[in-house]
Amino acid sequence: MNIKILNNKLYNFYKNYTIYKKIFLVIVDVFLCNASIFIGMYLRLDFFYPLNYFPPLFLIFSSISLVIIFIIFDIYKSLNRYSGWNAFIQLGKALLIYDILIFTCCTLIGIDGIPRTIGIIHTVILTFMILFSRISIRILLGDKSKGNFNTKEKVLIYGAGVAGRQLAQTIRFSRKMAFLGFIDDNIKLVGNKIDNKIIYNAKQLANIKKTVGIDTILLAIPSLNNIKKSIILNEIQKNKIAVKTLPTLSELENKNISLDDLRPLNIEELLGRTPVDISFKRKNYYINKSVVLITGAGGSIGSELCHQVLLQNPSKLIILDSSEFNLYKIHQILIEKLNFNTSIVPILGSVSNKAAMENIFSKHKPNIIYHAAAYKHVPLVQSNPIEGLRNNVFGTKIIADLSLKYKAKKFVLISTDKAVRPTNIMGASKRLAELYLQSLNIKSPRTIFTMVRFGNVLGSSGSVIPKFHQQILEGKPITLTHKKVTRFFMTAKEAIHLIIEAGSLAKGGDVFILEMGKPVRIFDLAKKMIFLSGKSLKDKNNPRGDIEIIITGLRPGEKLFEEVLIANNPIPTSNKKIFRANEEFLETSIISKNFNLISKYIEANKFKKIELIIKKLVPGYKNQEKSFNE
């Protein structure tokens, strides 16, 4: 067999079977321990001592003592997980303790049948044999794994703490990574070495890149908060270096760190935004033991809402979606973590089907309704305005009317920032739905109608960030509609907490908004994603770059800047991160009359007449394109 192939097979065995590695090392150590005793006896007596005359208790005692001392000093554990100088120092300490023990027993006290000088000769020979065995194993199994340095990913570890040091040790056996050193912003550590690897100054990253050559920085500070992490990432981005990071402390759960723990930056980290901490001011007892209906339950918002509502212990959870696949998927996930006090009822259907929705309400009589079912993709609704209005406006009307008829306690509409001074049909349809609920609340003696309005949810279907990430992975240009376009972002967790909290805060007719911080410039976000993925931006200044950003132009109905308020006078609530929008709404008679007309024109497929009504009802509506088929 080819020697190279044999070495690779030995390395794979050594790498993948931890228990076998430990057993192998124990056997090697016991063998060397006994062999060194026999060699010592030969050197002392000048002939091979017969095995049957050798005191067996001394052989057993020396072997067991060596293994126990090695276990106490974590020699088998450390030599398998680490391979740096620390491991050899630890091995030296263990051998010293063993040498002292044998010297004391054999030389100072004395053992019948064993020359006293064996306590010295044996320990010296064993020490050299053990060290030689470890160096040989490292050369045979460790160094063969290293491959060609020039072809490996050259990495620096940001953070010289415990996590960084553990990560450094795991890299030593990596076939793909070449570990060049540490980087840290603690000046007291800069210039020192760990396992002969220098700790560089984080403020000199540009110089380090030039002199050392870096492909990737591994961020190994699990306790780092998002604000500090954002500062570090911005500095790394300036130098156009790729980044991978370890999970947070809670995600690691005190386990040993490995290369498998490294992951790309998540969306929140890319944005450099600390998620808003929304703590429930009430325990949301209104959900407990209630019958809850969630429409659009298979969507990105609806599915997360299902999870959180289930934790509030409703007596029955009705999940409704028009997509068979989405409904099946969320139902399977929910029944796997089923709360046995909650009955889960999956229903396939459209909120626009009045008869089907009537059947749901008459049969199950839901107390709480979260209405997330909507067509939300601006270009698609812009191209199909009639269906968009039928679903988003009149689907909402059907569910709201039934909630009133069957005396539900609460109805929460999932709305959008695109409803504010809309420039597209999707935004206008959501504002119409808000207006209808506000008018309905006036004549509602028991049912509380409320709306929750927020911006883009990170990672949701159609979100730009997953799209950009996929384009970068495939080496394709990033497509962006406009260089100046900005958006508000929030996490799914924030969105769901806002929705559930709104049910507690609602008095009727409310429009709730979340403090979402500053809007994000999407062009800057795209550049950051390119650089932190280890790619370069291809533009006129760098025509040989990796990824180009192509500006395609605003899509029909798309805004440059989104808003969350129509009037700039939000009212604080008991939760300092949630505000109540103080906005005008129309009288019930006006809404009823105009909705009847819109319904009539929908059936007649006359969008231009519908748009005239929308302009009267929705403040600031300016549709950017009118290429619709009558």
Q: Are 529 and 469 in contact (CB under 8 A)?
A: yes
β partners of residue 321: 348
Cβ(558)–Cβ(423) under 8 Å?
A: yes
Residue 209 CB burial class (10 angstroms; 0-12, 13-18, ≥19): middle
List Cα–Cα distances, 59 to 62, 127, 233, in angstroms: 5, 17, 58
CA 450 to CA 581: how far, in whole Å? 11
Q: Of 197, 418, 527, 559, which residue is the catalytic one?
A: 418
Residues 193, 189: Cα–Cα separation, whole Å: 8
Q: Position of tokens 């376009």?
A: 485
Amino acid, single-letter form, for residue 209: K
Radius of gyration of the chain (CA): 34
- What is the spatial distance between Cα 186 and Cα 199, in angstroms, rounded to a whole number? 10
Residue 434 burial (C-beta neighbours within 10 Å; 0-12, 13-18, 19+): buried
| Helix 118-137 × helix 18-45 angle, to 10° | 140
SS3 (DSSP) at 23: helix
Active site annotation includes 22 = no
Is 482 in contact with 560 (CB distance < 8 Å)?
A: yes
Q: Looking at the annotation, which residues are catalytic?
A: 418
